[in-house]
Amino acid sequence: METYRNRYSLDVTEDDYGKLITVAGWVEDIRNIGSIAFIILRDRKGTLQVTALKKNEPEIFKKIVAISRESVISVQGLCKKSDKARNGYEIIPQEFEVLSTAETPLPLGVVDKVESELDTRLDNRFIDLRKQEIQAIFKIRTAIIASVHDYLRSENFVEVHTPNIIATSSEGGTDVFKLKYFEKEAFLAQSPQLYKQILMATGLDKVYEIAWYFRAEEHNTRRHLNESTAVDVEMAFIKNEEEIMKILENLAYNMWKKASECKEELEILCKEISLPNLPFKRVKYDDVIKKLNDEGSKIAWGEDLGNEDERLLGKIMEDEGHTFYFITKYPIEIKPFYTMPEEEKYSRSFDLECGGIEFASGSQRIHNVELLKKRIKACDLNPKDFESYLKGFRYGMPPHGGFGFGIERFLMELLNITNIRECILFPRDRTRLTP
RNA sequence: GCCCCGGUAGUGUAGUGGCCUAUCAUCCGAGCCUGUCGAGCUCGGGACUCGGAUUCAAAUUCCGGCCGGGGCGCCA
């Protein structure tokens, strides 16, 4: 054989009928009927059938019926029109090569009639990902990320890559992963927050990063990962947070829209996606508290929304016809130190929520170094630990703001996936460090 | 970090002191079968998370470890 593959299963057309073609992939199933045997061969596009008759090709027949499921093979054969085969054609093998033999039994069935637990699937993620419905999640993920690049570049954002190994924790407070950096102590970045802010002092004005977030919090839920990804955006010369919210809602809309265009994948997942209306509803924190209290929540002003409250609000907003909505003007005391205060007790901050789940969190930032130091102290942190960050504010820092937008959370809500671990290839959670 | 629940063949499960030489399906192996497509049929294979305790007797009760699931807090 000159090549292992010159057609994918679903790319075969009527023009190929009667011709020699070469296909390759994984043996999904073998059905040996005695004098005739079928192989269901799977590649990234779908499956096709290889049909072998014992009397015509006894040698190939013998090899075919002996192969184990999920082995990798390449087959050259006659592409024959057939009403009995699902794709309308089948391959009559002339040459047959086993590229890799799968051991038996499989740790996880690809097309078995029993479900497997998520833990088993994650332990054998490479097999789990052979399922088209699992692949569909990541194909949609690719499409979403492509839309992030498309949209933000169309708005003249510059893509950046900031360090993941950093000297101080990004936002203080929450747990960070410690590591040894030669003779020094370092941390894994909780987010690119401090660096994307420093970049606002450069004149790049608009930056974004598809960033890794590392969080050492010992949570054990279906909504949390210790290593996750996000779209981080920061932009300068803004008058207020509304300018950032406009970018965010357009970004979210574009991501949602792009996902809705993944017809094949959505069909595999049996999902339908309807587009939200722009602009998204803005609700002030004060009004959120009122709404929640009216519905029986005991939340007091000044508290952050708990999980139950977030879900309740999601329901309330849904009833009012809003899937996506912003919660704005949070009390300054429940926001991180870099958040721009407003009036006495509020802040120029916002969260983007969808159906009771927080997708993104952002704000206008403080650009005055003295105010920033004051806020750092007020949050029980030491300005000395933030010296290299603060330096960026001393030699000309324009007003700026931005947000972080969790990609896995977004996918989860988009596709109604109940466990966030399904939305990332190799999840890192409280106990999982492999694969 | 706190609380609740669980761990039985490769994968999923049934079994809550003796009916267990542990159920069923899937899977794996052998055989039959010329159109399968959740193929069918026959035969075979394979498991009680680990350590300790209670008991005449433990998959089953108790204690501890390990592993897993869920919730809360925190967050994205």
Query: Which residues is A79 bridged to in the sheet?
Result: A91
Q: What is the mean pLDDT of residues A10-39?
A: 93
Q: Is A310 helix (H, G, I), strand (E, B) or coil?
A: helix
CATH superfamily to which A125-423 belongs? Bira Bifunctional Protein; Domain 2 (3.30.930.10)
Give whole-number Cα distances, A89 to A11, A44, A48, A50, A197, in Å: 12, 18, 8, 9, 58
The reply to whether the CB atom of residue A227 sits less than 7 A from any atom in nucleic acid chain B is no
Determine the number of helices (DSSP H) and then strands (DSSP E) in chain A.
Answer: 12, 18
Furthest C-alpha separation in chain A: 89
Q: What is the mean pLDDT of residues A161-172?
A: 79
Burial letters A295-310, b for 16+ CB under 10 A, else e: eebebeeeeebeeebb
Which CATH number applies to A3-100?
2.40.50.140
Instruction: Find the residue closest to B31 using CA and C1' atoms.
Output: A34
Q: Nearest nucleotide (C1') to the CA of residue A361? A: B76
Residue of A162, A134, A362 whose CA lies nearest to A251: A362
The reply to whether the CB atom of residue A326 sits less than 7 A from any atom in nucleic acid chain B is no
A86 residue type, one letter: R
Q: Decide if pLDDT at A346 tops 90.
A: yes
Alpha helices in A124-191 (DSSP H): 125-128, 132-154
Q: Which two tokens stand for residue A385?
A: 């630990």
The pLDDT assigned to A170 comes to 54
DSSP 8-state assignment for residue A149: H
Q: Per-residue pLDDT tens for A104-127? A: 889 998 988 788 899 999 999 999
Q: Nearest nucleotide (C1') to the CA of residue A230? A: B76
DSSP 8-state assignment for residue A55: T
The reply to whether the CB atom of residue A404 sits less than 7 A from any atom in nucleic acid chain B is yes
Residue of A169, A188, A163, A172 whose CA lies nearest to A336: A172
**What percentage of chain A exceeds 70 in pLDDT?**
99
Residues 6+ apart with CB under 8 A from A321: none
Q: What is the mean pLDDT of residues A232-249?
A: 95
The reply to whether the CB atom of residue A121 sits less than 7 A from any atom in nucleic acid chain B is yes
Active site residues of A: 215, 217, 223-224, 358, 361, 409
Residues 6+ apart with CB under 8 A from A4: A22, A24, A74, A97, A99
Q: Per-residue pLDDT tens for A265-295? A: 999 988 888 899 889 999 999 999 999 988 8
Query: Where, residue-wise, is CATH 2.40.50.140 in chain A?
Result: 3-100
Residues 6+ apart with CB under 8 A from A112: none
Instruction: Find the residue closest to B36 using CA and C1' atoms.
Output: A31
Chain B nucleotides with an atom closer than 7 Å to a protein C-beta: 1-3, 10-13, 25-29, 32-40, 45, 67-76
The pLDDT assigned to A278 comes to 87
Cα separation of A349 and A235, whole Å?
Answer: 14
Q: What is the mean pLDDT of residues A70-94?
A: 92
DSSP 8-state assignment for residue A340: P
Query: Rounded to the nearest 10 degrees, what angle do helices A285-294 and A307-319 cross at?
Result: 90
Q: Decide if pLDDT at A194 tops 70.
A: yes
Query: Where, residue-wise, is CATH 3.30.930.10 in chain A?
Result: 125-423
Distance A79 CA to B59 C1' (A): 54
Q: What is the mean pLDDT of residues A337-348?
A: 92
Residues 6+ apart with CB under 8 A from A75: A22, A23, A24, A39, A41, A50, A91, A93, A95, A96, A97
The reply to whether the CB atom of residue A411 sits less than 7 A from any atom in nucleic acid chain B is no
Cα A76 versus chain centre, distance: 38
Cα separation of A253 and A247, whole Å?
Answer: 10
Give whole-number Cα distances, A175 to A85, A160, A231, in Å: 57, 25, 21
Which of A173-177, A255-259, A301-305, A310-314 is predicted most confidently? A255-259
Q: What is the mean pLDDT of residues A65-80?
A: 94
Instruction: Find the residue closest to B46 using CA and C1' atoms.
Output: A105
Give whole-number Cα distances, A350 to A185, A358, A362, A384, in Å: 34, 10, 5, 28
Q: Nearest nucleotide (C1') to the CA of residue A31? A: B36
The pLDDT assigned to A7 comes to 93
The reply to whether the CB atom of residue A188 sits less than 7 A from any atom in nucleic acid chain B is no
Q: Nearest nucleotide (C1') to the CA of residue A55? A: B34
pTM of the model: 0.91
Give whole-number Cα distances, A430 to A180, A224, A232, A282, A364, in Å: 21, 9, 24, 35, 32
Q: What is the mean pLDDT of residues A327-343?
A: 92
The reply to whether the CB atom of residue A162 sits less than 7 A from any atom in nucleic acid chain B is no
Residue of A195, A217, A191, A193 whose CA lies nearest to A204: A195
Q: Decide if pLDDT at A169 tops 70.
A: no
Q: Which two tokens stand for residue A331?
A: 């009390």
Q: Which residue has the tokens 């300005």?
A: A383
